[in-house]
Amino acid sequence: MATGLKKQYGLLMAICMVVGTVVGSGVFFKAQAILEKTEGDMPMGIIAWIIGGAVMIFCVLAFCVMAQRYEKVNGVVDYAEATIGSKYAYMMGWFTTTIYTPAMTSVLAWLTARYFLTFLKSVNPDFMLVSTDQGFAPVSSSETFLLAGFILIFVFAVNTLSSKLAGKLQISATFIKLIPLLLMAVGGIIYGLSHDISGAPVEDATSILVSNFGTSKGNISVLFGAVVATAFAYEGWILATSINSEIKNSKRNLPIALVLGGIIIIAIYLFYYIGVAGGATVETLQSDGATTAFTNVFGNVIGNILNLFVSVSCLGTLNGLLIGCIRGMYSISVRNMGPKIKLMKQVDPASGMPSNSCIVGLVIVAAWLVYFYGANLAPTGWFGKFNFDSSELPIITIYALYIPMFIMFMVKEKSLNPLKRFVLPMLGIIGSGFMVFAAIYSHGYIPYITAKEAGQGFSCPVLFYLIVFAVIMGIGLILMKPKKAKE
């Protein structure tokens, strides 16, 4: 199958896709969530990060085997086609193109804008957003969503006009976002070993880091909830497979990138968590989050710059997501399926990008941003009964879609040794099943109408998501129109 896309990305770009799409805004705040889940038990939090990382590695290893066997246009769609068939691959591609990737991309555009405005507020305390009664509320202000739209168009333009420039943006943003993480890891550990809980130099008192990690309660019952909190921090690595046809020596470099990227992510999370534990007491971290640790270790100026780095971090993740998103319709059309096949599979000779697919991808992301805007500005009332978390519920779905692929891989690939044919796919099934269960357990979502707090009536976010999912997938089924490629 000729794709028309050039082999232009090396191993470094592939690794940055893995790391850049996973390490985003969540890592800066998951330390606080883990502490809340473990009730301030730092050692138990370390175990949770390790278990969550192990689950990710399970799925990575399973997909590495597929990456070595199959290479066409869009990794996960290619794997679905090879294991189950063209129709399943089309529906997988339709889901990732219309729901999974654009929904997350829209949220990252919002997060990038939110933390940039938060940084402006830290630099200029008199800075106000005119559309809010409180004077500054970047979570749901109109300015935040307008800026999110501008950022989305900017990143889209970079990706559409020059795929090489988009690659450089991804690599640059990945390294930039690592700066505050590594600074906190090193600086926090040094600070935590040399200062006591009052912030004074250690003399006779116990250092803050030793104090924080010396308070383990050994309460295993809180561990699962903490592992659940790490599940979403490790999400996004699969999107690196969306550019497998553009990676040089993909069957070698993509598996290496997935494994090395996964190991780098786990190491970053662990050292950052330990560094944060050295910057403030457990009680402070639970109530105020990691920002206090940055301020204690580096002072107010550098501490306030954290929000700018978070914004850049989100921008890198947004770029990684958009790289996969704008190629969605193209990856469907090259299989001679879906709407406007000839139009969607055209590649611009000047930019080397599927421009029509890019435009459709932008429109879909914009639609999800509009939905996300309404879901945040109208969390109560009639709309509040039917809105759903567009950044997390699709994750439950895609991990569920992985499981049949792993099963059929074990059935079909009879020439492989037992490790690659059975053990690694089984690890993928276990990891995917865990992600599905973890998401449901973490958010209390069940597929029917659930009662809210007394006196607030009923809410059905999951039911509404399932309705939206069914409608969009139904439209995709109608538009599938499989056609044989002309010789």
Residue pLDDT, tens place only, 236-270 = 777 666 666 677 877 788 788 888 988 998 998 89
Structure tokens, 430:
């276990």
Residues 6+ apart with CB under 8 A from 387: 374, 375, 378, 379, 461, 464
Q: What is the CA radius of gyration of the chain?
A: 23
Is 50 exceeded by the pLDDT of residue 217? Answer: yes
- pLDDT-derived band of residue 453, with 50, 70 and 90 as boundaries? very low
What is the structure's pLDDT at 376? 64
First and final C-alpha spacing in the chain: 11
Give, in degrees to the nearest 5, the angle at Cα 26 between 22 and 30: 120
- pLDDT-derived band of residue 83, with 50, 70 and 90 as boundaries? very high
Express each pLDDT in 290-339 by its tens digit.
777 888 888 877 767 776 777 777 887 788 778 778 888 988 898 889 99
CA distances 295 to 140, 186, 273, 327, Å, are 26, 15, 16, 41
What is the structure's pLDDT at 454? 38
Q: Which of 128-132, 154-158, 447-451 has the highest mean pLDDT?
A: 154-158
Is 70 exceeded by the pLDDT of residue 459? Answer: no
What pTM was computed for the model? 0.78
Separation between Cα atoms, residue 221 and residue 232, nearest integer Å: 20
Express each pLDDT in 348-383 by its tens digit.
887 778 889 999 999 999 999 988 887 766 555 555
Separation between Cα atoms, residue 21 and residue 16, nearest integer Å: 8
Strand segments (E) across 254-400: none
How large is the average pLDDT for residues 70-93?
84
Is 60 exceeded by the pLDDT of residue 486? Answer: no
Does 295 or 215 have the greater pLDDT score? 295
